[in-house]
Amino acid sequence: MSASLVKRLFASLLTALLASLLVFLLMRSVPGDVVSQMMGQAGGDTAENALRQFFGLDQPVYMQYFNWLLQVLQGDLGTSWTRGVPVTEMVGKAFLVTLEIGVITLLVATLVGVPLGIIAAINEGKPLDTLIQSFNILGLSAPVFWTGLMLLVGVSSVLSWSPPLRFVPPSQSLSTNLEILVLPILSLGLLQAAAYSQFVRQNVVSAMHQEYVRTAIAKGVPVRLVFFKHILRNVLIPIVTFMGLILIQILGGVVIIESLFALPGLGRLLLSAIETRDYPVVQGALLIVVATAMVVNLAVDLTYRMIDPRVRES
Amino acid sequence: MFLSHMFSRRGFLRSSLLGATMLGALASAAPALAQTNALYGPVAENPTMGGRLNMGLLVEPPGLDPFHQAADARIRVTVLMYQGLFYESPTGEAAPLLAESYTVSDDGLVYTIKLREGVVFHTGQPMTAKDVAYSYNYIRNAENGSPGAGDFSVVSDIVVKDDYTVEIKLSEPNASMPMTLGNKYGAIIPAGYFDDENAKNRMNSQSVGTGPFKLVEFAPNSHVILDKNADYWEKGMPYLDGIDFSILPNSASMLIALKNNRVDLVPLSRPQDVQQIEGVEGLTIERWPSLGQTAIDLGAETAPLDNVLVRQAISLATDKKEMMQASIGDFGTVLGTVPAGLQEKWGLPLDQVPMQGPDVEAAKAKLAEAGMADGFTLTLTTINGYDWMDPAAVTLREQLAKIDVTLDIQRVDLGVWIKNFRSKQMGLTFNDWATQPDPNLLFYRHFHMQPKGADFRNWNNAEASALLDDARASSNAEERAEIYTKFQKILAETVPTIMLFSPDHITVRRERVNNYSQHPTGWYYGLARTYLSE
């Protein structure tokens, strides 16, 4: 087991390295750099060259990459070119915001989506099933910016309330933090709960039609026992996979919700860094996204081992 | 420089839109605010002291370094923390700010500036002449990488005469020197500040200027917090204890925050946003004149735009008013050859501007004269994120279709656009830029031949360049105005650019916000004179 883990880790590192190289080259192939952004329509060649030298942009690209990599290996992601703040600090703060949104959304989606999916599956073909499936389809087809905006507009006109604008971490004030996050999490959670519920329903339904289930019931095993011991156990693996996918999806894709609700998360940080061509921040932030995706995947793998003895043995 | 807006008749027009129900009704704005050249805006008669103002920003400053960052979103905020020797008064005079008075030698080459005494930096150090010399020497040395370096190229030497007197020597006369010593680029900071290699970065966490507010915190994608400078040299100013800027890039969310008391004051740029909050109780919508302009630039580097007849035909076929209506409704002013904020004092009278459309027949005649009566295809470049450009582009396509010119519209990112612009490969493009209230700062760099100017549009017009030199050297205001009139005639006649319209600055404030006035540059000077009534 440990050998396969080492293999996995090694593959992950290689992927991270390749991803960082790709990001590095892609960013530099987009026209315009931080210096032309800073200069706008003003400035002159001497001033521009002086700034390019300051940022090390006058060096060949491979040298820039090599220097950056060397820095990263020493645990230093560099300094933001536009903010003058260490990238680790900027990305760290933004990551915590996004992680909080991601984890709570996942929790909400699981607590709502899984029971809904199971209830729908048990009532397959009945009105309750149709009702839950309607919710699923609605949730899946409504784009998240629309849901977010509708929630914001709706709550504002009914309660004359909108979330505070300046983000406060839970360590500072849990109540303000939740006040800020309740609408964004609801917008994301609704969508993910619908996806979750649909997914769980399908898996449970297909498990219920398996022959071993029919056999067990024919043999007189109590239905409740069949359900919890056989069916649920079998759908746990796809559910765990799905949780991992959702978390990764949220971490990489909440930029719209972050913009709508003024949340200083990773998505917005990345977007603004791309716009201002702040290479160290883009590279640092994406490295963190890639690393997180890998950790989540690894965690999902490890969970498989706990749930399914066959994975452990192989 | 980008994304600034404008309007004007006699000085400031200010129009309260509260209670108005139709866009059309909003256009007939009533002049109200007494014109004042007081620094930063009118002094309040009986202000309430204290309190913190929450201001919403749709565009985040990319950084807060006044020496190395040219973005307008930066200048808007840093004018509250940093000060130059002069203040750009809305009517076009450079009013002494950290300077107290100044004299100019007869040959126009030496400015002797007496400095204000008793000014203290945010760091606690007193400001003296050596700080002034250091700051301007830093910015004018292009090796230091400031976008403002070009504006200071005529400065040949800066001499400290005594603690509060400094001499600025020029290599040639420059009537807009005091305005150049204003607040767009650079500021007076403590001598030796940039010796520390970390100094540039530190400007995003700590201000070192002399302005009415100090930087407390700048959190990316979240907020900027300023506190009152308790040691500020203007006694009794500012009225506010502090300003909290909240950065919210989505205008729909911003309007909801405004309705629910989360912000007190918001500058808006889109008429459709204004429509959404018209008639909301407790909110006052105001329009302000602007020094910004939207324009069609015609780079003469390639055919057929190298042919002046073709450029004239495009100008004649363009209906500026229709383009403005399509993109911002009536929230602006149609232009001749200067932004609206400069029209009164420096502009060629609108009825004398040549090559103005729409005149389809005249435009067709020009194309026939150029041997291109059958028309041709042109690519128009627009920039992502500039809301006015999409409707304006479609409107222009319809207008040019009438003279058989087919327009391909190409949207590009700002980074791409700047690259094309700087490398003088702009072709036919929309532009959106602003200026300080001075014709030299508006025209010289953009339209003078190289190497003295940048001549981004490859206009290469020797006659116009000579006029720009003459006007800059003249210290007589009347003579300057006359020369600029001649220049503008050539500009309109040979069409390197077609200035379209100046969008107004629009601000929305809650009732508790008092005495805020919006400077025509779009910078937030007015916050230094704002007070809260609760």
Nearest residue, CB atoms, B150 vs list A43, A90, A94: A43
The pLDDT of residue A252: 66
Chain A residues whose CB is inside 8 A of the B244 CB are 166
Q: Is it true that the peptide bond before B451 is cis, omega within 30 degrees of 0? A: yes
Assess whether pLDDT exceeds 50 at residue B23.
Answer: no
CB contact under 8 A, B200 and A84: yes
d(CA B254, CA B269): 12
Kindly report, residue by residue over A140-199, the tens digit of the pLDDT: 888 888 999 999 999 999 999 999 989 999 999 999 999 999 999 999 988 889 988 999
In CATH terms, the fold of domain B86-195 is: Dipeptide-binding Protein; domain 1 (3.90.76)
Among B136, B228, B247, B328, smallest CA distance to B529 is for B228
* Beta strands at B265-268 and B505-510: parallel, antiparallel or unpaired: antiparallel
Assess whether pLDDT exceeds 90 at residue A94.
Answer: yes
Query: What class does CATH assign to A89-311?
Result: mainly alpha
Give me the phi and psi of B111, to 5 degrees please. Answer: -105, 115
A:107-146 residues touching chain B, CB 8 A cutoff: none
- Cα–Cα distances in Å, from B111 out to A84, A196, B26? 36, 73, 46
DSSP B432: E
The pLDDT of residue A312: 63
CB contact under 8 A, B203 and A84: yes
Q: Is B496 in contact with B300 (CB distance < 8 Å)? A: yes
List beta partners, residue B217. Answer: B225
Nearest residue, CB atoms, A264 vs list B69, B143, B221: B221
**Domain B292-503, CATH:** 3.10.105.10
The pLDDT of residue A151: 92
Instruction: Give me A221's structure tokens.
Output: 């095993």
- A-B contacts (CB, under 8 Å): 171
Kindly report, residue by residue over B370-407, the tens digit of the pLDDT: 999 999 999 999 998 888 999 999 999 999 999 999 99
d(CA B94, CA B99): 11
> Looking up tokens 């991992």, which residue turns up?
A244
Give me the phi and psi of B353, to 5 degrees please. Answer: -80, 120
Band of residue B24 on the pLDDT scale cut at 50, 70, 90: very low
Helix axes A174-208, A144-159, angle to 10 degrees: 130
Residue spans per domain, chain A: 3-73, 89-311
**Cβ atoms within 10 A of the Cβ of B103, count?**
9
What stretches of A116-218 adopt beta strand conformation (E)?
Answer: none
Residue spans per domain, chain B: 9-81+211-289+504-532, 86-195, 292-503
**In whole numbers, what is the pLDDT of chain B averaged over residues?**
90
Assess whether pLDDT exceeds 90 at residue B7.
Answer: no
Closest residue of chain B to A90, computed from CA coordinates: B220
The pLDDT of residue B25: 30
**Cβ atoms within 10 A of the Cβ of B38, count?**
12
Nearest-neighbour CA in chain A from B371: distance (Å): 35
Assess whether pLDDT exceeds 60 at residue A203.
Answer: yes
* Residue B178 identity: P
Q: Is B435 in contact with B72 (CB distance < 8 Å)? A: no
**Least confidently predicted of A234-248, B193-207, B489-503:** A234-248
Assess whether pLDDT exceeds 60 at residue A29.
Answer: yes
Among B518, B52, B59, smallest CA distance to B285 is for B518
Chain B residues whose CB is inside 8 A of the A162 CB are 253, 256-257, 259-260, 262
The enclosing H or E element of B407 equals: strand B405-412
Nearest-neighbour CA in chain A from B49: distance (Å): 24
Q: How many residues does chain B have?
A: 534
d(CA A166, CA B370): 59
Band of residue B33 on the pLDDT scale cut at 50, 70, 90: very low
ipTM attached to this prediction: 0.87
* Mutant choice from A54, A162, A260, A270 vs B, greatest count of B C-beta within 10 A: A162
Band of residue A1 on the pLDDT scale cut at 50, 70, 90: low
The enclosing H or E element of B417 equals: helix B414-422
Mean per-residue pLDDT, B105-109: 93
CB contact under 8 A, B149 and A31: no
Which residues 6+ apart lie within 8 Å of B428 measured at CB?
A: B296, B297, B298, B299, B305, B314, B378, B379, B380, B381
Chain B residues whose CB is inside 8 A of the A152 CB are 252-253, 256
d(CA B144, CA B51): 39
CB contact under 8 A, B422 and A153: no
The enclosing H or E element of B414 equals: helix B414-422
The pLDDT of residue B357: 85
**Domain B9-81+211-289+504-532, CATH:** 3.40.190.10
Closest residue of chain B to A155, computed from CA coordinates: B256
Kindly report, residue by residue over B298-337, the tens digit of the pLDDT: 999 988 999 999 999 999 999 999 999 999 998 999 999 9
Kindly report, residue by residue over B238-252, the tens digit of the pLDDT: 999 999 999 998 888
Closest residue of chain A to B450, computed from CA coordinates: A44
**Cβ atoms within 10 A of the Cβ of A260, count?**
25
Nearest-neighbour CA in chain B from A273: distance (Å): 9
Chain A residues whose CB is inside 8 A of the B252 CB are 149, 152-153, 260
Torsion of the alpha carbons at A109, A110, A115 and A118, rounded to the nearest 10:
100
- Cα–Cα distances in Å, from B514 out to B51, B145, B186, B261, B284? 12, 39, 30, 16, 11
Among A148, A153, A255, smallest CA distance to B249 is for A255
The answer to whether A48 faces chain B, any CB pair under 8 Å, is: yes
Chain B residues whose CB is inside 8 A of the A89 CB are none
Chain A residues whose CB is inside 8 A of the B202 CB are 84
Kindly report, residue by residue over A37-90, the tens digit of the pLDDT: 888 777 678 888 888 888 889 999 999 999 999 999 898 999 999 888 899 999
A:260-279 residues touching chain B, CB 8 A cutoff: 260-262, 264-265, 268-269, 272, 275-277
Band of residue A314 on the pLDDT scale cut at 50, 70, 90: low
* Mutant choice from B154, B201, B221 vs A, greatest count of A C-beta within 10 A: B221
CB contact under 8 A, A36 and B147: no
* Mutant choice from B253, B384, B448 vs A, greatest count of A C-beta within 10 A: B253
CB contact under 8 A, B413 and A261: no
List beta partners, residue B225. Answer: B217, B244
Closest residue of chain B to A267, computed from CA coordinates: B221
Nearest-neighbour CA in chain B from A144: distance (Å): 15
- Of residues A238 and B29, the one with the higher pLDDT is A238
Would you call B367 helix, strand, or coil by DSSP?
A: helix
Band of residue A313 on the pLDDT scale cut at 50, 70, 90: low
Chain B residues whose CB is inside 8 A of the A37 CB are 62, 71, 414-415, 418
CB contact under 8 A, A152 and B249: no
d(CA B200, CA A76): 20
Assess whether pLDDT exceeds 70 at residue B69.
Answer: yes
Kindly report, residue by residue over B118-175, the tens digit of the pLDDT: 999 999 999 999 999 999 999 999 999 998 888 898 999 999 999 999 999 999 999 9
> Looking up tokens 């909440």, which residue turns up?
A254
List beta partners, residue B382. Answer: B411
As a whole-number percent, the residues of chain A with pLDDT over 90 amount to 40
The pLDDT of residue A293: 84
- Cα–Cα distances in Å, from A93 out to A168, A264, B59, B61, B529? 11, 8, 21, 19, 35
Which residues 6+ apart lie within 8 Å of A44 measured at CB?
A: B142, B149, B150, B454
Closest residue of chain A to B441, computed from CA coordinates: A42
Kindly report, residue by residue over B347-378, the tens digit of the pLDDT: 999 999 999 989 999 999 999 999 999 999 99
The answer to whether A37 faces chain B, any CB pair under 8 Å, is: yes
Instruction: Give me B455's structure tokens.
Output: 């001549």
Kindly report, residue by residue over B449-482, the tens digit of the pLDDT: 988 888 999 999 999 999 999 999 998 889 999 9
The pLDDT of residue B498: 97
**In whole numbers, what is the pLDDT of chain A averaged over residues?**
88
Band of residue B423 on the pLDDT scale cut at 50, 70, 90: confident
Looking at B22-126, list the stretches that DSSP marks H as alpha helix, in order from N- to C-terminal side: 23-27, 72-78
The pLDDT of residue A253: 63
CB contact under 8 A, B263 and A51: no
Band of residue B521 on the pLDDT scale cut at 50, 70, 90: very high
